[in-house]
Chain A
Amino acid sequence: MNSFTELANALKSRKNVLLLTGYLCDEMELNGRRLVDYAADIALKLNLPVAATGNTVVALKERGVRAGKKVLAEMVNLTRFPHWGDPVITERPEVMVFIGYPPGVLKPLLPAVKGAETIVLGNVCLKEATFSLPDASLSQYRLNLESLIGELGGF
């Protein structure tokens, strides 16, 4: 994917996309706006179910997002079993989108995801993902997220 338009189209066209939100959503601020606001925009625009890890479920629900409290490693763990079963998304996800995780947390987990594509919306490019946003300063990261959210269209 070479542009935010392509990324947005890919996200819109796929079935069973699961958004996972990590603890940095609660802690990171990009020019005065919390990362959880960006995550909520993405979830709401795509009407995605959210596996909210760390403590992010509270802020996401306050923003009207369809989120359930989950544990990151449990979500990755489930992808390797034949039976999915977790109620956050009824069928096994085809795409898992990660936002709000430091690279040190996510990098080792990505190769362990089985049977799903992985998209990382962070400020460090992770080559272990199927697709990852590029390395960016925090100000560029904000612009990247805004571009992506813009391409996702209206609510």
Chain B
Amino acid sequence: MPEKKTIRLGNSIIDVEEVVRDGRGIEDIVIDAMESDFQEARYRSFNQKLFPFADAADLAEWDGFLVRQYPPLYTGSPGTCSDCPRGPCDLEAGKGLCGLEKAACQARLSLRRACRGSLSQFMDSRELLNYAVKVFGPEHPVEWGKMHDRSDASHIGFMTAIWPRCLADLDRVLTYVEEQLNKLLVASFTGLDASELEQMVLHAGSVLLVAMNVSELVKMNCFGFINASNEDIMQMINWPPVNILGGLGNVEKEKPVLTFLGDNFLAAWCAIKQLQEENRAGQVEICGIGPAGHDIVRFYDQCRVLAPMTQARKIVRYGISDVIVASAACIDLNFLPDAVAAGTKVIWTGREKNIGLPDYTDEPVAKIVAELLTGIPGAWIRHMEKAAAVAVELVQKVSRSKEHLLSEDAAKKEAKRCRADCDCCHGVCPNGLLIGQQLRKLPAEGVGALKEIEEGCYLCGRCEGVCPEKIPLEDIIIAVLNGRVEEDKLKMRAGRGPVARVETTAWAFGSMWGNCPGIFHILGCGDARMREELGWIAYNLTWRNAIVFTAGCAAGEIGRYFNREKQQYVYEQFGTEAQVRNLINLGSCTACSHIVDQALKWPRTGSGIAHYGNFAETADVEYNVIAPTLIVWGALPDRMYALVAAWVRAGMSVIIGPNSGFGWNRYLMGNKWQWEDWWTYTTFGGQKRYVEPSPPGMIIPVETKEEALTQALSVAMRPVEIRDGRQIRLDTYVEFSETFFKEFPDDWQLFVRSDWELPLRYKSRLLKELKEKFGWEIDRLRVKRARHPDGRLMEIGEFNKEYSSMAMSITRLKRMIARGSEPGGKEENK
């Protein structure tokens, strides 16, 4: 900084250079952030550092802890490396010529995957912002919502320290994201240190959330997306209402059907605006697939949310749409042949690449419409208003036959060719579906024989590719879908947008002291094996008093869960404020950033931690005290890989599955049976203190939804939580295990710190096990002496003094040991 800068905070004069390493060029941001949220008490007690515009290395102290505690478990094998011209090098045989080891190569691949995922979002955010600046100007104001104030955390704040006020600020933020992703991508070809590369994966996740933050701010402030933070807090329990219908069964097929697919909602915004201005909105059925659907319903509640992105090929091939306006998304799907087969016209609006359509960007609307009507399958139009105008015009003129669908008789005829001595299709199906076995039943039972296969299928096409009889398996799957279209329904709330800190204050206390098993986040991309599994997971957590947040495609899939007894969809059964026993949809994929941000607001409320440029300290508290659990059910796209990294970095564990979760090739798990691995520093004193292995893992793949729920509870316990919270979490953990597996979990005893924490309904049985299986000394309903993991039998009071950290202040960051209180420090010597 050119001149020495200080700020006054309470009774302290703070030298900014002491807190920020190099603030040159960003003085305005740093001073603004410190003056509005920095906490004097913490500054006086701790060696606080802020990292505005953080590089991966700035957060290495925290990331390093995570990667050490949960060393990456790499699955799969990279084989050879060809990253540089000196290769290929066989890494199974030893180091590469550049010194690259197998683990580092796996970490490079992990980083590349995370970068791909983050870049796909960045491109969308950049395009959206550029458009908004063109239309509304750089000074157009942005805000998070009326209920938000400067203490409300966001990833923009964590990573850049900016409190954005206008679109120009967001441009500065996206420049940061771009720079970070470039650095990470370069490192993914040149880095040699596995641990450092994995830490960068976490960074790729954080900058993804920053890009998502930008998109959300633009959507809410420029395009009329609803935001509950601007509404009356008393209405929030039921706002927005459960009025969004979706699924193929809810589409009014008599109307022209115009579907928007992918990340970019802008063409939809222009088209709906045009239809409304012309008073024709009611004449056209607007549908959305993937993020577009979840975005549109935030400004147009008549839109039908059809399906997640991974199911897009199936929906396109089924052919419900007359016109599809598509853009790039989280997953690359070659859907054009499906649209051609179904007779649907495609307008591709992606700017970064074409999908094989003629470029009509500079042609007049009338000419494009005329040519589309006379034969060409689609057009590439890189101009949103024009793409929308063409779509609106075309959809009312085009007519499409349904003749492409295979009839039941034709399906039977094809199925008869299936060979009993084959089953190649089962071998390649990523969801392990028993396709051949069921197909052979089709001639006798009809297409219904493949009902469950169709549910679990996302039309990847691998089975058809290996079938020696060239049976058109994809067409057969679509014929099965045709048979159940009327049942394909969902009902949901539109996403409500960000959650202000005032609301999280309420959940923080409810979840710690109340009768709440925890806070859970549910995401998923639609490739799970059974359609209602996401809803089942959400329901089973919410009705047990959990606080459940969702966003993205999972929010729609949850909406399929229907309680037949009560004749209600799952969103109709629960409220939607950030409170115990509420199921809260925040929005499309970009609203995932709100989920992490609201979770990270708690450290500000509970421990007075400033957030601007202060990620590591925040995540440390979150991880130790009250981190929610994320369940990702159906986890295919690379963007989800990067998103999960962001969750982990924020201290939150992630359970992924079912089958696609095993294709991730990198998990983060510790050894819960090795008690010496689990320790922390006491914040005041800096002593090393052994604690229970909570959580035992940060990314754990599982096979079934029952495993997902049970594991979600196993990682929900945190060492600092007080006994009420531990009791209800143990209770639910044991309950899930008993219900689904008819036995106690194998590790429940590792989490017991006092008999007060034993769930009442299992207490006598658990005490009996503690005594007989684990050698604790029990006196009627009390633990008299507990078994330390090192084998010693100790009075319970002594045990608590020496082991675990209930309600204590602890940290994983040496820097966060209170000033002078470390062994030998001046505070200790007083």
Contacts and interface: CB of A to CB of B under 8 A. Distances in A.
Interface of A: 22-24, 27-28, 53-55, 57-58, 61, 68-74, 76-78, 80-81, 83-88, 102-105, 107-109, 111-112, 123-124, 128, 135-141
Nearest to A74: B669
Given A55-B704, A57-B743, A69-B743, 6 more contacts: A55-B706, A81-B674, A108-B662, A108-B665, A136-B423, A141-B423
A92 to B, nearest CB: 12
Interface in B427-463: 427-432, 434, 436-437
A135 to B, nearest CB: 7
A77 B671 contact: yes
Given A22-B703, A87-B746, A105-B662, A78 B673 contact: yes
Contacts of A138: 423, 426, 434, 436-437
Contacts, number: 129
B742 interface: yes
A104 B703 contact: no
Contact of A137 (B76, B420, B429): B420
B733 to A, nearest CB: 12
A74 B659 contact: no
B703 A23 contact: yes
A57 B742 contact: yes
A20 to B, nearest CB: 11
Contact of A57 (B659, B672, B741): B741
Contacts of A76: 73, 75
Interface string B635-679: 000000000000000000000001100110101010111100000
B741 A104 contact: no
Contacts of A70: 746
Given A24-B432, A105-B662, A80 B73 contact: yes
A88 B747 CA distance: 11
B707 A109 contact: no
B131 interface: no
19 contacts: A22-B703, A23-B658, A28-B434, A54-B704, A57-B742, A69-B737, A71-B711, A72-B701, A77-B669, A83-B671, A84-B673, A102-B429, A102-B659, A103-B427, A104-B662, A111-B77, A112-B75, A123-B427, A139-B421
Contacts of A104: 429-432, 659, 662-663
Given A103-B427, A108-B663, A138-B423, A74 B745 contact: no
B64 to A, nearest CB: 19
Contacts of B662: 73, 104-105, 108-109
A78 B741 contact: no
Nearest to A81: B671
Question: Which of A54, A58, A85 has most B Cβ within 10 Å?
Answer: A54
A97 B428 CA distance: 21
Interface in B728-745: 737, 740-743, 745
B711 A108 contact: no
Contacts of B422: 137
Interface string B693-712: 00001001111101100010
A140 B423 CA distance: 10
A73 B700 contact: yes
B74 interface: yes
B694 to A, nearest CB: 15
A114 to B, nearest CB: 10
A102 B745 CA distance: 25
Contacts of B674: 81, 83, 85
Contact of A124 (B427, B431, B700): B427
B263 to A, nearest CB: 27
A124 B659 CA distance: 16
B362 to A, nearest CB: 46
Contacts of B430: 104
Contacts of A84: 673
B420 A53 contact: no
A7 to B, nearest CB: 20
A135 B428 CA distance: 12
B76 A108 contact: yes
Question: Which of A87, A103, A108, A128 has most B Cβ within 10 Å?
Answer: A108
Contacts of B672: 85
Nearest to B741: A69
Nearest to B76: A108
B741 A137 contact: no
Contacts of A23: 658, 703-704
B746 A68 contact: yes
A66 to B, nearest CB: 12
A86 B673 contact: yes
B632 to A, nearest CB: 14
Contacts of A69: 737, 741, 743, 745-746
